[in-house]
Amino acid sequence: MPDGTFDAVVVAGGRGSRLGGLRKPELSVGGRRLVDVALAAAAEARRCVVVGDVPVPAGVLRTREDPPYGGPVAAVAAGMALLAGDHAPWTLLLAGDLPDAEAAVARLLAAGADPDDDGLCLLDPGGRLQWLLGVYRTSALLARLSDRGDPPLTAMHRLLSPLRLRGVDPSGARVDDVDTPEDAARWGIALP
């Protein structure tokens, strides 16, 4: 961990449009739902919030973005609001449809933060920051969420790109998610 305790917000909403409306976090890989893989990846978090309409185990907080299906920025805002008043110094933002989330988050948390880093994100093979595979200084994240504008920002890159973020090589962890039937097939996920 960069320098201490962290909370986690798992973004698990969305319509699953490219998968015919299937709830992606409830798809199974290796006998586990993708949301459960994400929760296992975030097991070291002090508190964990799942944002989406998906059942969660006892001890895990759950909420919905407003409006429902309002996108990942609205989901992050809802998760952070549920944690209000008692935030950890760092916040892990994690997509709920990442089959290799455990290896990816382990790599991310093993990276050390510099004092001037607002956050760390894993990089995809093209060198792009993966916003929902990142750990952020909570104060910086909250400042960006409070300054989303009117109408509010909806894209993660617009929310987070002003921050001082450092890309982390995934070192063998896979950062791809499940958006299409082809993605599911690559991971051996059987679609109903």
pLDDT digits (tens, 9 = 90+) for 105-162: 999 999 988 899 999 999 999 999 999 999 999 999 999 999 887 777 788 999 999 9
Integer Cα distance of 156 and 94 in angstroms: 12
| pLDDT the model gives residue 54 | 93
Q: Report yes or no on 192 lying in a domain.
A: no
CA atoms within 13 A on the CB side of 119: 29
Mean pLDDT of 159-168: 96
For the cut 90, the answer to whether the pLDDT of residue 13 exceeds it is no
In the predicted model, what is the mean pLDDT of the chain? 92
Q: Copy the structure tokens of residue 45.
A: 């978090």
Q: Report yes or no on 139 lying in a domain.
A: yes
Integer Cα distance of 171 and 155 in angstroms: 27
Full residue range of the structural domain in which residue 37 is found: 6-186
Number of domains present in the structure of the chain: 1
Under the banding of pLDDT at 50, 70 and 90, the label for residue 1 is: low
Return the CATH number at 83.
3.90.550.10
Integer Cα distance of 11 and 28 in angstroms: 17
Under the banding of pLDDT at 50, 70 and 90, the label for residue 85 is: confident
Q: Report yes or no on 1 lying in a domain.
A: no
